[in-house]
């Protein structure tokens, strides 16, 4: 990708803020969080050709080879209470999954909360990072990483059984075409001000592979919730039916047990 193709994609979907491409950076989320603190406008987009210290959820690293992944962050300044921030990340996951599925013609689904999976293998993920000030959401950076062109042998050995790419699961899109589809889908899902649509949860539930599965959610170290995932609540939490009764799970790592 180039600055030109990123700007073209943003222009095609009327992104109302600067869209920048950097060949290499440590993490687009870290960069955009800094820009947000310095007043960057809503819908500022930062795309990287490569990240040297990409970050994932739960303090993990996000590894990618140069030129094979779509790596970007989008800045939102939504007029939402902080409690609704999880809905934004479900909305982003739904938007990116839909765009990937359409462009690559692949059955991309969401694993709660915001992993993108095909056949139980991870094809992408979302890292939302929010800043709260005076009891309201100051800004939210939505980081998006998608494996696009990798062959199986391109993944490190420890990821080969659990990771996949759009090229392996469907048609290989160009990174520029996928970027345009992702931005269009995000604009449609999160609206001009970054708010969520009223039917978000119904559509998220339809695309979520976690529902109807036995799951183990790790909340911290040795605190687990195990049972059947039966729903997604109004705040975006996973509803788990356990032997002790229903439990809402607001965050954490979820493993499908069957
Ligand atoms: C996950 O753990 O599944 C979320 C991964 C998110 C990775 C993306 S790549 C672009 C953006 N910049 C980062 O450092 N992380 C996110």
pLDDT confidence of residue 250 = 92
pLDDT at 19: 98
Q: How far apart are CA 138 and CA 220, in angstroms?
A: 27
- Cα 153 to ligand 1 centroid, rounded to whole Å: 21
Cβ contact 71:51 at 8 Å: yes
**Atom of ligand 1 minimally distant from the CA of 115:** 3
pLDDT above 80 for 81: yes
> Nearest 5°: phi and psi at 162?
-120, -10
- The helix/strand/coil state of 204 is helix
Can you tell me the mean pLDDT for 114-120?
A: 96
User: Which residues have CB under 6 Å of ligand 1?
Assistant: 27-29, 51, 54-57, 60, 62, 71-73, 115, 125-127, 143-145
* pTM (2 d.p.): 0.96
**Residue among 54, 69, 111, 159 to mutate when testing ligand 1 (max atoms within 8 A of CB):** 54
pLDDT of residue 219: 87
- CA distance readout (Å), 33 to 46, 57, 82, 110: 11, 16, 17, 25
Distance from Cα 105 to the centre of ligand 1, integer Å: 23
Strands 115-118 and 121-133, how do they pair?
antiparallel
Share of the chain above pLDDT 90, in %: 88
- Mutational test site, ligand 1, from 31, 53, 145, max ligand atoms within 8 Å of CB: 145
Read out DSSP for 122-136? EEEEEEEEEEEETTE
Task: Give tens-digit pLDDT for 157-191.
Answer: 999 999 999 999 999 999 999 999 999 999 999 98
62 touches 73 (CB < 8 A): no
User: Which of 52, 93, 127, 148 to mutate to test ligand 1, by most ligand atoms within 8 A of the CB atom?
Assistant: 127
Mean pLDDT for 130-149 is 94
Distance of CA 138 to the CA centre of its chain: 20
CA distance 160 to 179: 25
Ligand 1 atom at minimal distance to the Cα of residue 55: 14
- How many Å lie between the centroid of ligand 1 and the Cα of residue 124? 8
Average pLDDT of the chain, as a whole number: 95
Q: What is the pLDDT of residues 34-46, one digit of tens each?
A: 999 999 999 999 9
Instruction: For residues 72 and 64, give the distance between their C-alpha atoms in angstroms, rounded to a whole number.
Output: 12
Going from the Cα of 213 to the center of ligand 1, the distance in angstroms, rounded, reads 26
């Amino acid at each position: 990708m180039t600055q030109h193709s990123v700007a073209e994609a943003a222009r095609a979907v009327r992104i109302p803020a600067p869209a920048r491409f950097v060949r290499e950076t440590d993490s687009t989320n870290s960069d955009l969080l800094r820009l947000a603190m310095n007043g960057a406008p809503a819908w500022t987009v930062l795309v990287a050709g490569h990240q040297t210290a990409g970050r994932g959820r739960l303090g993990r690293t996000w590894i990618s080879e140069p030129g094979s992944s779509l790596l970007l962050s989008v800045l939102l300044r939504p007029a939402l209470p902080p409690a609704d921030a999880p809905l934004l990340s479900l909305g982003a996951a739904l938007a990116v999954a839909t765009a990937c599925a359409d462009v690559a013609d692949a059955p991309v689904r969401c694993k709660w909360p915001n992993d993108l999976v095909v056949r139980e293998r991870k094809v992408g993920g979302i890292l939302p990072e929010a800043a709260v000030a005076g009891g309201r959401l100051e800004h939210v950076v939505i980081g998006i990483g998608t494996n696009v062109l990798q062959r199986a042998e391109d993944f490190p050995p420890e990821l080969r059984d659990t990771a996949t790419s759009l090229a392996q699961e469907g048609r290989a899109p160009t990174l520029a075409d996928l970027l345009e589809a992702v931005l269009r889908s995000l604009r449609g899902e999160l609206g001009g001000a970054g708010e969520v649509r009223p039917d978000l949860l119904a559509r998220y539930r339809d695309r979520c592979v976690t529902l109807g599965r036995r799951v183990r959610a790790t909340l911290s170290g040795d605190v687990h919730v195990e049972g059947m995932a039966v729903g997604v609540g109004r705040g975006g939490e996973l509803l788990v039916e356990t032997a002790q009764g229903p439990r809402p799970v607001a965050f954490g790592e979820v493993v499908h047990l069957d």
